[in-house]
């Protein structure tokens, strides 16, 4: 595995060609780092699942460069999905649509739908466009962590998480820290109205304002979204929510909360955006420091705060 810290046109070309040859390329997006593989190459996708340690029936998101690519991977696309794509792509939103023949079982986990996203990161977009130039159609990319672990928001976190599983021709592209910090909002667009399957930076209110439709509640039992399994996003340290931190504990809390004596402050965000951006780094740092317990004081409010609480609830579940 090689970590490329300067992404030039040449690096992007070699990364796209590594993908076309069936290798894995971890790359930055605005949400979290993704572990990319050629979405049309079954062998590469099998390698991706093995590297993540992820069960094969969990579907992958196909990353495309613009909404023009939607029609290739999906069919029967409702008007409200086009509206969402126009309003929020490139951006932290994944649309689940009826699949075309291109989206094979090894991408969709055997489901009749496919998840599509246009990421808003210059390196991700350059990579996808160059991948198209080299004959590719889409890059499948789950978050670049082992199954159940915390998503990486820096290239160094990807390296720590996956270096022992990546092979010599696999690459990690360093694009600095991710700006959003929590995974994309996932919206099921197979019914009469949008249904939110995973909360993120594109909020239910934004979806309603864009489409004029009320965003429905998800039914996690009906559709396999691995991030909707109860225990997920977990560091090794035990995450405990909304209690008083004791000596030796880690603490993640809004900046106006003081740090009690003997407590290790891991993050002190001053805004909700900063809370989201810093959360996964802070959870990872608990493990680097060998802490056993991380106390997290959750942010209040809706929108991105609700997405943060959703992830925290799962990282606290064992
Ligand atoms: O922000 C993100 O979405 C990041 C970046 C890299 O794009 N990707 C990401 O991928 O979070 P992953 O695989 O870690 O989480 C994607 C979630 C999974 O829980 C998967 O089950 C769900 O999306 N998903 C993918 N395709 C789906 C489908 N057809 N129906 C329902 N859920 C789907
Ligand atoms: Mg993930």
249-288 pLDDT, tens per residue?
999 999 999 999 999 999 999 999 999 999 999 999 999 9
Q: Would 228 be classed as within a structural domain?
A: no
Same domain? 186 vs 280 = no
Average pLDDT for 66-95: 98
Per-residue pLDDT, 218: 76
Same domain? 203 vs 292 = no
Ligand 1 centroid to 244 CA: how many Å? 34
Q: Would 7 be classed as within a structural domain?
A: yes
Tell me the pLDDT band of 241, cut-offs 50, 70 and 90: very high
Same domain? 204 vs 251 = no
Residue 76, domain CATH: 3.90.870.10
Of all residues in the chain, the percent with pLDDT exceeding 70 is: 95
Residue that finishes a domain, picked among 185, 217, 249: 217
Same domain? 155 vs 95 = yes
Per-residue pLDDT, 226: 54
Atom 13, ligand 1: which residue's CA is nearest?
Answer: 142
Nearest-5° Cα angle at 119, 75 to 113 = 25
Q: What is the pLDDT of residues 248-257, one digit of tens each?
A: 999 999 999 9
Residue 286, domain CATH: 3.40.50.11030
- Whether the per-residue pLDDT at 170 is higher than 90: the answer is yes
Q: What is the pLDDT of residues 127-167, one digit of tens each?
A: 999 999 999 999 999 999 999 999 999 999 999 999 999 99
Q: Would 288 be classed as within a structural domain?
A: yes
Q: Would 229 be classed as within a structural domain?
A: no
Residue that finishes a domain, picked among 217, 251, 268: 217
Instruction: Domain of residue 113: give its range.
Output: 2-217
Which of 86, 31, 95, 33 lies closest to 62 in space, CA to CA? Answer: 95
Whether the model clears a pTM of 0.75, i.e. scores above it, the answer is yes
Instruction: Please say whether the beta carbons of 38 and 203 come within 8 A.
Output: no
Q: Which ligand is nearest to the CA of 197?
A: 1
Atom 10, ligand 1: which residue's CA is nearest?
Answer: 142
If you write DSSP's letter for every residue of 88-113 in order, what string do you get? H-SSSEEEEEEE-TTS-HHHHTT-SE
Tell me the pLDDT band of 229, cut-offs 50, 70 and 90: low
Tell me the pLDDT band of 221, cut-offs 50, 70 and 90: very low
Q: What is the pLDDT of residues 297-307, one digit of tens each?
A: 999 999 999 99
Same domain? 161 vs 33 = yes
If you write DSSP's letter for every residue of 5-70 in order, what string do you get? -S--HHHHHHHHHHHHTT--EEE--SSS-EEEEETT-HHHHHHHHHHHT--TTS--EEE-SSGGGH
Same domain? 212 vs 245 = no
Could you give the CA distance from residue 230 to residue 113 in angstroms, rounded to a whole number?
Answer: 22
Q: How many domains does the chain have?
A: 2
Strand partners of residue 96: 115, 188
Q: Would 222 be classed as within a structural domain?
A: no
- Whether the per-residue pLDDT at 225 is higher than 60: the answer is no
The total number of residues written for the chain in this structure: 318
Q: Would 224 be classed as within a structural domain?
A: no
Same domain? 169 vs 268 = no
Give residues with Cβ within 8 angstroms of 252, minimum separation 6.
Answer: 266, 267, 279, 282, 283, 294, 295, 296, 297
Same domain? 180 vs 82 = yes
Surrounding ion ligand 2 within 5 Å at CB are 143
**Greatest CA span in the chain, whole angstroms?**
59
Residues with CB under 6 A from ligand 1: 29, 31-32, 34, 58-61, 94, 96, 108, 111, 113-115, 117, 119, 141-143, 183-184, 186, 197, 223-227
Same domain? 146 vs 79 = yes
Q: Would 36 be classed as within a structural domain?
A: yes
Ligand 2 centroid to 26 CA: how many Å? 13
Per-residue pLDDT, 219: 59
Average pLDDT for 174-184: 98
């Amino acid at each position: 595995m090689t970590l490329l810290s300067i992404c030039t046109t040449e690096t992007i070309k070699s990364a796209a060609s590594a993908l076309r040859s069936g290798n894995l390329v971890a790359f930055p997006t605005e949400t979290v780092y993704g572990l990319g593989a050629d979405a049309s190459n079954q062998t590469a996708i099998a390698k991706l699942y093995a590297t993540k340690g992820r069960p094969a029936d969990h579907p992958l998101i196909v990353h495309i460069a613009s909404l023009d690519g939607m029609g290739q991977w999906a069919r029967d696309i409702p008007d409200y999905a086009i509206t969402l794509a126009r309003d929020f792509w490139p951006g932290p939103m994944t649309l689940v649509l009826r699949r075309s023949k291109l989206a094979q079982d090894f991408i969709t986990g055997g489901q009749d739908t496919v998840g599509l996203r246009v990421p808003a990161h210059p390196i991700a977009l350059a990579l996808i466009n160059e991948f198209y130039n080299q004959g590719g159609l889409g890059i499948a990319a789950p978050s670049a962590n082992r199954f159940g672990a915390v998503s990486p928001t820096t290239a160094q976190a990807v390296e720590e998480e996956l270096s022992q599983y990546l092979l010599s021709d696999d690459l990690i592209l360093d694009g600095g820290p991710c700006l959003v910090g929590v995974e994309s909002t996932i919206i099921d667009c197979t019914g009469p109205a949008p249904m939110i399957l995973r909360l993120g930076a594109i909020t239910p209110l934004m979806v309603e304002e864009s489409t004029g439709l009320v965003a429905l509640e998800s039914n996690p039992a009906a559709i396999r979204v691995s991030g909707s399994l109860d225990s997920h996003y977990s560091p090794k340290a035990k995450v405990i929510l909304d209690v008083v931190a004791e000596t030796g504990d880690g603490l993640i809390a809004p900046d106006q909360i003081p740090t009690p004596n003997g407590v290790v402050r891991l993050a002190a965000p001053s805004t909700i955006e900063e809370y989201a951006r810093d959360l996964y780094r802070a959870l990872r740092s608990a493990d680097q420091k060998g802490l056993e317990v991380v106390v997290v004081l959750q942010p209040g409010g809706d929108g991105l705060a609700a997405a943060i609480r959703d992830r925290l609830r799962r990282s606290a579940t064992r």
